[in-house]
Structure 1
Amino acid sequence: MEFFCYHRDRPGSTPLRTEMVEEHWSYMDRFAATMIARGPTFTSDETLTGSVHVLDLPDATAARAFAFEEPGYQAGAYRDVLLRRWRNTLGRTMWDYGDGRSDSNRYLVLGFCEPTTKEIDLPDGDELIACGPLLSDDGAVVVGAAVLVEVASAGDAHEVLSPAGFAAIEVHQWDFGGRPA
């Protein structure tokens, strides 16, 4: 089962996150084989605002353990966690995406819709790094979408999801994460 996990930073938690980076990476190393995508969100001045992890785990219990046993969460770095079942519509990982384009930026785009049992319109295109619907725990109800995309601007990222299909759309600067090579 695939899950989307977004730990949103508590305001002012960057020093704590920086102090705990090795603990965070060591924890994530345990899940490396299951990762579809990962990386930080941040502001234009590169202040951290969150941490995205998309991964394949056995069940919802394992996903909750992953999210809430994360060292930064345990230390109080995060204000909340968005944890949802997810379906990898591209069938690949971020590492399969390639090197990207030098004139583009990367973004996390979250769209939230009224719960539905129908399929929702999701984007397709070469600019998509990862894409899939946000689902209920049993996977039967769609509640939104999470897309990682590489485009020129935040405005372009916002246009990845159709405003007609979503009650709210959030755009966050994002980049590939993980332990530096």
Structure 2
Amino acid sequence: MNRRVPVFAIHCIDKPMQRELRAATRPDHLAYLESAISQVVLAGPLLDEEGAPIGSMLLVEFPDRKAAVSFAAEDPYARAGLFSSVAVTAWRQVLPRID
């Protein structure tokens, strides 16, 4: 089965030395994702070698890139200024195969 709605990868890298800001903003970030859970394919932190968060990666379903960019911009992490970079890119699953 093919997905009916396009999927976008949102790849975010934290600014250096922002663990306290990430921790303080995390409850609002999680609530924001929960409020759009039907559009979230997967979500989780990017980690450094020690397992500490250094960013975020999400796969989300939106009708177009503009909607995905808007969603990323409204994330409480983004609004708090946590990220040094955010990339929103169309994504297509190849493996495992979806029939």
Alignment-derived partner of residue 3 in structure 2: none
- Give the % identical residues: 26
2:39 aligned to 31, 34, 37, which one?
Answer: 34
Larger radius of gyration: 1
Relative to its length, the structure with more helix (as a share) is 2
2:68 aligned to 63, 87, 104, which one?
Answer: 63
Find the residue that maps to 1:20 and give its secondary structure. Answer: helix
Task: Let me know the Cα RMSD of the aligned residues.
Answer: 1.4
1:87 aligned to 80, 86, 92, which one?
Answer: 92
From the superposition, tell whether residues 91 and 76 of structure 1 become closer, same or farther in structure 2 (CA, over 3 Å). Answer: farther
Residue identity matched to 2:77: G
Alpha-carbon distance in 1 for matches of 2:12, 2:72: 8
- Structure 2 spans left out of the alignment, 5+ residues: 1-5
Q: What is the count of residue pairs matched by the alignment?
A: 92
Normalising by structure 1, report the TM-score.
0.48
What are the equivalent positions in structure 2 for 1:18-167 lying under 5 Å apart? 18-89=23-94, 90=96
Alignment-derived partner of residue 16 in structure 2: 11
Alpha-carbon distance in 1 for matches of 2:56, 2:75: 11
Normalising by structure 2, report the TM-score.
0.85
Which 4+ runs in 1 deviate beyond 4 A?
none
Query: Offset at 1:46?
Result: 2.4
From the superposition, tell whether residues 62 and 91 of structure 1 become closer, same or farther in structure 2 (CA, over 3 Å). Answer: farther
Alignment-derived partner of residue 115 in structure 1: none
Relative to its length, the structure with more strand (as a share) is 1
Alpha-carbon distance in 2 for matches of 1:32, 1:50: 19
Residue identity matched to 2:31: S
Query: Offset at 1:73?
Result: 0.7
Query: Offset at 1:91?
Result: 5.8
